[in-house]
Amino acid sequence: MQLIETGRQRQLSLAVLGLLGAAGAPVRAADDPLPTQFDSGLLYYQEGDSRVKDLEAVINVRQPLAADRAWSGRILLDSVCGGSPNGAIPSHNQQTFATPSSTSLTPTTAVVQTTTSASGGGGGGGSISLCNNPVVGGVYTVAPGQLPIDQSFHDQRIAVSGGYETALASDTKLGLGAAYSHEFDFASTSLNASIAQDFDAHNTTLSLGVNVEGDDVHAVGGTPVPWSQYNLFEKGGSQRKRVHDLLLGLTQVMNRRWLAQWNVSLERASGYLNDPYKIVTEVDAQGNDAAGAYVYENRPGTRNRTVFYWDNKVDLDYAVAQLSWRHQTDSWHIRSDTLDLHLRVPLGEAGYIEPHWRGYRQSAADFFHFFLFQGSPASGFASADPRLAAFTGRTVGLKYGLPMGKSGEFSVRVERYVQHGSSPANVPVGLQGLDLLPDLRASIVQAGLRFEF
């Protein structure tokens, strides 16, 4: 009996050998070069009421040098125009402003640079531009009731960065990187390093990262003296800013379907933290503004920020969900929360769709003022930058991804952003009926192409 059974085993083994042994794996080069990965995207962003238009092109390249080493590079080109609010509030009267490159509110003054517009205008000759610059003579007017926006703003940014990552041991990874970004009025250089250590059979990863950044601000027309009167054009030279970041991260496999990540980052920015183009309206006790009564903003010289971030990726079989929460507090007393949800639903051969929802809210900086009263002492800090105001934002979007070739993907993303801020509850008579913080609506269209060879 045993002999027969042994014979069966031998028969099976021979049959398997006949099937698999003869049909060995196809011949492949022993050292297939690791393919280079390209990831490119084109993004168009437009705010309602022809505020900001932004066209951005980005290319990411990642070249593995070995299984545990790779370098990566990134180039980003960005063309913005349309400008953001200059900080002044709407008025019942027409308001007149000078572009930052101007030195006077009066266009007939001899020193007006008639062909240069706002920040970055000087660099724009011959390059691609979305901008249909409506500002003539370095002066722009804003109709009664409208939020003052410097339409002349237009800038081109180029940002390049490179990184290198390598395994120090089977459980330890080191990353090093550098980045440089240049705009007409701003340049930024940064260096970063990170180390990641795996524990518990790669189920847990602890990471530590540092980033040091130095910025130069060459405001168009000079850097305004904080608190100086807008029409006096007290402007100085370039300014500097430094940013230090420390990031501590924990990534944990919770179970076979759930990956969680927690990050805490501490950031300290110091130096020139003002926006050189932002002003604050001064009104009298009744809320009436006088022509040209604006002062340049003044922000603290340091900002300490703490960010807590919790990200979850959950495999739901029919989809992969990504849910994250970001909570930020800083020494300017801005608190913000972001809830972000992505749901990637595979459509088989047709690719995938990914609905996206994001909710955001922030409180105002403690020195944020929609306006100041004339005669109040010009000391302390003040800014009317709407980005420092209290507001909420909602983003709703949909992405579609289509596989291309072996490992490529073409994707299209469409998003709609609505930002809602609230005007102060009590305003002087002269400001009543004005929407000091109009809602902002923006549309985003992005096309992406990823491939490798």
Residues that bind other proteins (CB under 8 A): 4-5, 8-9, 11-16, 18-20, 22-26, 28, 32, 34-35, 37, 62, 64, 67, 170, 198, 201-203, 253, 255-257, 259, 313, 315, 320, 346, 348-349, 351-352, 403-408, 452
Beta strand pairing status for 408-421 and 371-373?
unpaired
Residue whose CB is less far from other proteins, 14 or 266: 14
| Amino acid, single-letter form, for residue 160 | V
Q: What letter would DSSP give residue 429?
A: G
What minimum distance in Å lies between the beta carbon of 190 and other proteins? 24
Half-sphere exposure (CA, 13 Å, Cβ side) for 102?
Answer: 27
Other beta carbons less than 10 A from residue 117's beta carbon: 29
Q: For the CB of residue 53, give the shortest distance to other proteins in the complex, in Å.
A: 34
Torsion of CA 107, 110, 113, 115, to 10 degrees: 70
198 vs 340, beta carbon nearer other proteins:
198
Rounded CA-CA distance 188/243 in Å is 10
Provide, rounded to whole angstroms, the least separation between the CB of residue 304 and other proteins.
Answer: 34
Q: Which is nearer to other proteins, 137 or 408 (CB)?
A: 408
Residue 41 or 424: which CB sits closer to other proteins? 41
Task: Determine the Cα–Cα distance for residues 111 and 79; give it in Å rounded to an integer.
Answer: 28
> Which of 311, 341, 342, 304 is CA-nearest to residue 326?
311
Cβ closer to other proteins: 349 or 375? Answer: 349
CA distance 82 to 43: 16
CA distances from 359 to 308, 314, 396, 439 (A): 16, 20, 9, 15
Task: Provide the minimum distance between the beta carbon of 351 and other proteins in the complex, in angstroms, as a whole number.
Answer: 6
Question: What minimum distance in Å lies between the beta carbon of 35 and other proteins?
Answer: 7
Nearer CB in complex with other proteins: 353/378: 353
Shortest separation between residue 325's beta carbon and other proteins, angstroms: 19
Smallest gap, in angstroms, from Cβ of residue 76 to other proteins? Answer: 21
User: Which of 142, 153, 231, 152 lies closest to 438 in space, CA to CA?
Assistant: 142
d(CA 434, CA 421): 13
Handedness of CA 74, 44, 134, 391 (dihedral sign): negative
Smaller CB distance to other proteins: residue 111 or 318? 318
CA 48 → CA 392, 413, 416, distances in Å? Answer: 17, 18, 11
Closest CB 415 distance from other proteins, rounded Å? 23
Q: Which CB sits closer to other proteins, 20 or 291?
A: 20
Residues 223, 233 contacting (CB under 8 angstroms): no
